[in-house]
Structure 1
Amino acid sequence: MSKVELQRGDLVNQAGWREALAEFAPHDDIYFSPDYLAAYEARADGKVQCVIVRDGDSVMLLPYLVYPIPEHPGLFDIQGAYGYGGPLLKNPHPEFLSAAWNLIRDCWREQSVVAAFIRSHPMLGNEVFFDSSWDVVFDRPTMSVDLSGGLEAAFAGAHQRNHRRDAAQARRSGLVTALLPCTPDLLDQFARMYWDTMTRLEAGSDYFFSRIYFKTLAERFAYDISIAEVRDTNVGETLSAALIFWGPRWAHYHLAARSVTEGNRNTSHLLLHSVAEEAARRGLVALHLGGGRTPAPDDSLFAFKKRIGNLEQRFHTARLVVDPAQYDTLVSEWCTQHPDSKPVWFLSYRQSS
């Protein structure tokens, strides 16, 4: 084995990151790009970093954010961005993987990193590339519309009968769909509708993406994001909308919003059917719908997606304690400060109660 080399990139110097990412085409999904990570960095106090490990024709690329641990100056943890990520691998083999993770752990120790929490990419199944030092945990299933056999085959399943009926009824009622560019004004309109939706659903704070998050998406992505809308032209109102990410291989249903007057008009079925049509037109192999709001087997959002999709994947998270002594100290401090609560999160020192 030749010398294994590790490079570190960030948002200041992205050239090496972009060059390395292109080597993984067509799996160089939007979630691995510096542009997406830049939007996520903008919403919090984390700093984006990407490590690239090379040995001959074997390459690993891993983007993530480094967060300072509150009230503990000089200590940090690693977290993947919202959505999907994890390592990208080219020509992996056990010896390379072992050497790569050893280098990355050494890098993190030098940065005073206590722990790392990384989300995998269910379309890639890249959770298999974490070594034995990581605790890889199944989080929840996700659904996609597999378009590899064509659009008609993608929606031919018996379990999709109600979806086909509802999408057709919505069209017959006069509702129309549109795929709009990700301009600042249109994205600002979507953001307001999205925040209203999250407020009505009493969603957790993590789902309230900031204005700067949407602003950064509009600045960074000219062609890789669309705003899908379902409109009632009779009253000139947008009833539902979604942010759609267009990758080189998959489309992603990223964030969704519904008008307070949408009612039970099957707009989400029509919207996603229209997005699948566009994904098929672009030659993509799948529209990834994502998972539920929770891992619960009766999660209503996942049940909705399961009525539309025809392929189920598995989403995992990977957890690593980089500094066991410091990690135990932080968890112990949290338990002392919250005697009536139990730590549930892996990064439990960040748990609110």
Structure 2
Amino acid sequence: MLNMVEEQLKMEVIRDNNRWNEVVSSFEKSDVYYTYEYCSAAAKQEGGIARLIYYKNAYGTVIYPIIIRKIETRMEKPLFDITTPYGYGGPLIMGEKEILKEFKSIFHSYCKSTGIVTEVIRFHPLLNNVSYSESYCELQYIRKTTAVDLEFELPIIRESYSKMNRRNISKAHKHGLQCREVEKNTENIMVFWKLYKETMNRKNASNYYYFNKNFIEQQLKNTPISKSHLLFVFHGEKIISAVILFTAPLFAHYHLGASDSEYLSYKPNNLIFDFMVEVAKKEGSMLLHLGGGYQENDSLFKYKTSFTNNNLFDFYIGKNIFDHTLYNEIIADKEFSADSDEEYFPLYRSY
């Protein structure tokens, strides 16, 4: 059903690797989260399929990478929903914002005709595509994120760190910790994955964040517009902290991190965040996005801003329901537990 409708549209629904990245690379501003490599890996992790929506008219161009996921129900008709890949995304325009009116009409017709019931968007704080999306979907502010401005020379950037942060970096050096970028080979990926799983266990993370090894491996592949880096902190020969970093001419991103709880007092995380700044600066990125906290202004967020001199951005999500009747029928079809989050969207995925 999806393929039949896609072939009939004047809007292009792209599946091909080369065509996908050709379109994304043509944009003046884009990011790793829009590339085929990243989105296809994220789709496998989500149990869905990746598509790049591409639309062009007199006002300009729209690109929008999505993951289409099947909704498990007892209904005869196959039903789906869409989300953005883990990280940030959403419709991105090149041209005038008026293009979104016609894009919305055509894309939402596509969703309704293919049995897509809901849409969730994690908007991109740095690209600020939420600024022209008020008429596209229901918007919900989530929290601030923060990024290191890499315009200045490295000593000036480091001088802007908080005093406590600088002390902790010095403490890490006194313990003899060293940072190195390592090869993205099978052995090192396995080391990262094991350390990452231990970190998620320590934080009592939800199942969503327990990424499998294949997903980690795919994330470490370069794309036409970005590079990936695997960074380790060593205490002697022992690896005690690790990070996956993305770099590109516009933005670098702290993607995933992990650490050994036994060595946290040695401050390896402060050291590796500083090393991320150094690597991203060397690669020529303009900003290093560190993301946000679990909640607004929590301890994790305050830690990240100790590197960024409070350079802040707004993170929003967007929501659409294309068929309210079907949405309510799916909810009625599900058996929810007593602790289901009634504010979660879509509600049928809250159990």
- Tell me the TM-score normalized by structure 1: 0.90
Is the CA contact 1:170–1:266 (under 8 Å) kept in the aligned structure 2?
yes
- Aligned counterparts, 1:20-99, within 5 A: 20-25=23-28, 27-56=29-58, 58-71=60-73, 72=75, 73-94=77-98, 96-99=99-102
Q: CA deviation at 1:260?
A: 3.3
Letter in 2 for 1:137: Q
One-letter code aligned to 1:315: F
Residue 252, structure 1, aligned to residue 253, structure 2: yes
Q: Is the 8 A contact 1:182 1:221 kept in 2?
A: no
Give the superposition deviation at 1:151.
2.4
Match of 2:295 in 1: 295
| Alignment partner, residue 108 of structure 1 | 111
Superposition CA RMSD, Å = 2.1
Report the equivalent of 1:344: 343
User: Are the aligned partners of 1:42 and 1:212 in contact in 2 as well (CA < 8 Å)?
Assistant: no
1:272: how far off? 0.8
Q: Distance in 1 between matches of 2:339 and 2:32?
A: 42
Structure 1: state its 5+ residue gaps: none
- After the TM superposition, which segments of 4 or more aligned residues of structure 1 sit over 4 Å from their partners? 218-223, 336-342
What are the within-5 Å matches in structure 2 for residues 180-329 of structure 1? 180-218=182-220, 224-233=227-236, 236-292=237-293, 294-297=294-297, 299-310=298-309, 311-329=311-329
Q: Distance in 2 between matches of 1:133 and 1:119?
A: 13
Is 2:144–2:296's contact at 8 Å kept on the other side of the alignment?
A: no
Cα distance in 2 between the residues matched to 1:199 and 1:64: 29
Tell me how far apart the structure 1 counterparts of residues 340 and 191 of structure 2 sit (CA, whole Å): 40
How far, CA to CA, are the matches of 1:198 and 1:342 in structure 2?
A: 21
- Give distance in 2, aligned partners of 1:126 and 1:228: 30
- Tell me, yes or no, if structure 1 residue 130 matches structure 2 residue 129: no
Residues 24 and 343 (structure 1), Cα distance of their counterparts in 2 relative to 1, 3 Å cut: same
Deviates more, 1:147-156 or 1:219-228: 219-228
Amino acid at match of 1:50: L
Task: Determine the structure 1 residue equivalent to 2:4.
Answer: none
2:331 match: 331
1:142 maps to: 145
1:178 to 177, 180, 191: 180
Q: Which amino acid aligns with 2:326?
A: Q
Give the Cα separation in 2 of the matches to 1:283 and 1:221: 16
In the alignment of these two chains, the number of paired residues is 339
Q: Secondary structure at the match of 2:303?
A: helix
Q: Distance in 2 between matches of 1:113 and 1:105?
A: 9
Aligned identity (percent) is: 25
Q: Which amino acid aligns with 1:83?
A: G
TM-score by length of 2: 0.90
**Structure-1 separation of matches of 2:331 and 2:136:** 20
- In structure 2, the CA distance between the partners of 1:9 and 1:190, relative to structure 1 (3 Å rule), is same
